Chains A and B, each alone.
Chain A
Amino acid sequence: MKTGNMMSLVMLACFLAPSVRAMDGMAGQSQMGQMETHDMSGMDMSGMDMSDMSDMDDMDMPEMSHPAARNVRPAPQQVRQKTPRIVHKAVDAPAPRVDIGHHMHGMDMGRWFHGVLDEFEGRYQTGGRSSLRWDGEAWYGGDYNRLWLKSEGTMTKGRVRDGDQELLYSRAISTYFNLQGGVRLDLDSGPARAWGAVGVEGLALYQFEVQATGYFSDRGVAGRFEGSYDILLTNRLILQPQVELNLYSRADPRRQVGSGLADIDTGLRLRYEVWRKMAPYVAVTYDSPLTQGRHMARKRGERASEARFTFGIRSWF
């Protein structure tokens, strides 16, 4: 017992004088007894099974007025030994599927609309080949069902490539992951392509943000993996390594896409969260076609890859 309690017992001697009298007056008339004397419209006490209260007869009523006079902890032998019956009625079984129209009921069924522009950046390169890159997503919906819109692309010298827009239905399937399905449209300065898309998105072990999506069309299949991780230098200064990989089963020379592991886009961004929704950053980014795509780029006489100094703003609403 805490010393506080011991002291309280002593204090009680002085404090209790009036209340002990009050309680004597109540002896035998518990609070419940008092309540019965009032007409409580709608609160019916008669249903209470008083027969179970026979235990109260055994109580030492005078002692009740002096709680401090003895230990308030129950003696070990007071606890009856019996084996309870275990049931699994699930007292709060799932609600019926019908909407019962309760005002409160819908309060946890809100829908939200958010968008995040993870990358909105200028990638500096000599020779006028600097480019503007964006990568973001927006969603609307509730806890389980959401509609996602993803968009990314890179604009260099007025030409957009790697332009990828996706419209996905997203369904929460586990604690940290969502299953997503929909369409992907490659819309940019190159020829347009349409794909079906199925993927997962979520938070992996050790708090890695990951997205893995498979695409299919009459041009074969493709895949994309994206991952990022936030390293908190301080609570506002955050270093984020990020990577995106694309795979294609078949080459698409008109879109300058090779087969196999087609390209990588990666960056190391250092952002400062001025406030949560607005964080300017500096970064080193690197993007490059890989394997067959690399050969295709070389044939065209392009510099295949370069690490570039980048600055941008991460924002969301």
Chain B
Amino acid sequence: MALPGTGRATSPTPSALPPLEMELHVTRRKVHVAGRRGEGYCVNGQMPGPVLRWQEGREVCIHVHNHMDEPTSLHWHGIRLPSDQDGVPGLSFAGIPAGGKFTYSFPVLQSGTYWYHSHMGHQESAGLYGALIIDPAGESPLPTADRDHTILLSDWSDVSAEQIVANLKMQDDYYNFRQRSMASLPEESRRAGGLLPALKSRLQWSRMRMSATDISDVSGVIYTYLMNGESPAQGWSGLFRPGERVCLRVINAAAMTLFDVRIPGLEMQVVEADGNPVVPVPVDEFRIAPGETYVVMVTPQEARPYTIFAQSEDRTGHARGTLTPRLGLLGDVPPMDPRPVRGMVDMGMAMPMMAGMKNMAGMAMPPVLQRTPADEIDDPGPPPLNVENQNIAAHPVERVGSPGDGLEGTGRRVLAYSDLVALRPPPDQRPPSREIILHLTGNMERYIWGFNGRKYSESGPIHLARGERVRFTVINDTMMEHPLHLHGLWSELENGADDQHRPLKHTVISQPGSRMSVLVTADAPGVWAYHCHLMYHMQTGMFREVVIS
């Protein structure tokens, strides 16, 4: 397999080089993780797969061999490419049949940190993923680093994905052992400031037939959280010398887990989000959802091990790694933070707090977020309350300024989407001609997810005209985060930055009870997938086709 080194290309233009040829072999075998046996998928014998290194401007030619008795696919997450190379079976190609071979071939037009994974069935949740790093054609937009480590986070269970979904269909809180109970009532009363407020809150949730403790559908009860495939007992280790600037490329390849990542004792400079350079933001912690990538720079000064601590959002477990001056050292593992509890804001029922706030529209859009109005707004209206939807966010709020549930008031500086300022102006600065409002909906009780109260199989595609500039406004009527991934196109996040500084992302978290918007230039014709990157939300309906023609 040809893997170019980290060095810069010496030839005048990478596009003049012959295509970069790679051979990838997909197999399935028994794997041992944290003492438990399970069925895992490997690329070239590894789980996670090898780190692929491409070069901006140079074509790639990737031969994928399927050595299994089931079809497979590889999707290049966040990569701009012709839609027939995107690797979504049934949408962009037919899949790679059992025992078959497929050659992906396309020019690489971007640089940064990305990843690849299967888009077939449940293969991704069982380990078929790996990191993908693209070296820039010219000078790197990132600060120079002395070392470069890739950190791929994932969740692993020996329970099969089919079994997990089946269990959730029968009992939605199957994996949640942190529910409110009689035993937790004294603690809740203390926090709520009395028994009556605590009981009132319970009655409210119980009346809605929902649960305030519903943070992650699948928890550490069955998941082992991995860093580069290593379980937290020992964890992955990366070397540094004191004073060196270390580049950490963090990728969340988990099926169902949002991670909150920090390195106690080290400040992190966020320099890249979803492959695109941003103005460095110093933070202590950041949340990364499945599908997202962040590149952070750290400069450890002391010759001691530093723990990279990635706790799951629901605080039922963590992935762990160590930056260490020499192998074999382990740092302290900090205690888990208190787990988040959903509130009325997450239900989209944030009541107008400030007196004098006259109109509701003004409340939904604080002055900091000004959006150029589109000529036309396609508004489906509030979603129906039906079999597939159990809630309507009556008062969705802007939450790009919030780091997310459980991360407010930690005393640490936590990255919020509003902190992301693009280093390069986005390529298209036209105002949107059309705004498409989409509601994220779901019925936790029946475990059905979707858009606008309909799951994928019941909905047609979203049609965009080629070259059109649209705004997707996403209202999250559910009480969970949904990392939305739009294939093949950039999502330019309207996070309060002006036309030339809005960050380009491929995966954007829609926070519970929030209203969020991205601008999309429909410059790549074809059929693209648009879905929640929580695997079991996607597989139970939160998926749409976007057709550009």
Contact = CB atoms under 8 A, between A and B. Distances in A.
Secondary structure at the B interface, as helix, strand, loop or mixed, is loop
Contacts of A274: none
Given A79-B371, A85-B377, A104 B456 contact: yes
A91 B547 CA distance: 11
Contact of B183 (A79, A83, A234): A234
Interface stretch (A43-51, A187-195, A240-248, A259-267): A43-51
Interface string A4-27: 110111011001101101110110
Contacts, number: 299
A89 B378 contact: yes
Interface stretch (B22-30, B35-43, B461-469): B461-469
Interface of A: 2-5, 7-9, 11-12, 15-16, 18-19, 21-23, 25-26, 30-35, 38-45, 47-49, 52-53, 55-56, 59, 64, 67-68, 72-74, 76, 78-96, 101-110, 112, 114, 116, 143-144, 172-176, 203, 205-207, 231-236, 276, 316
B181 A67 contact: no
Given A84-B374, A104-B456, 13 more contacts: A2-B413, A23-B424, A43-B83, A43-B524, A86-B377, A91-B463, A92-B454, A95-B458, A143-B446, A143-B448, A175-B446, A176-B209, A207-B209
Contact of B459 (A12, A79, A93, A116): A93
A231 B181 CA distance: 8
B109 A34 contact: yes
B489 to A, nearest CB: 10
Contacts of A80: 372-373, 431
Given A12-B279, A105-B456, A316-B170, A92 B462 contact: yes
Nearest to A205: B207
A75 to B, nearest CB: 8
Contact of A175 (B280, B367, B386): B386
Contact of A4 (B83, B141, B413, B541): B413
Interface string B168-190: 01110010011111110000000
A112 B448 CA distance: 13
Contacts of B89: 103-104
18 contacts: A2-B418, A7-B282, A8-B279, A18-B139, A19-B142, A21-B139, A31-B424, A31-B426, A43-B526, A56-B429, A68-B279, A88-B380, A103-B89, A114-B169, A175-B209, A175-B446, A205-B209, A232-B180
Interface string B499-534: 111000000000000000000010111100100000
Which of A16, A74, A106 has most chain B Cβ within 10 Å? A74
B139 A19 contact: yes
Interface in B440-481: 443, 445-446, 448, 450-452, 454-463, 466-467, 469
Contacts of A89: 378
Nearest to B57: A38
Given A15-B280, A91-B436, A143 B387 contact: yes
B390 interface: yes
B90 interface: yes
A103 B283 CA distance: 42
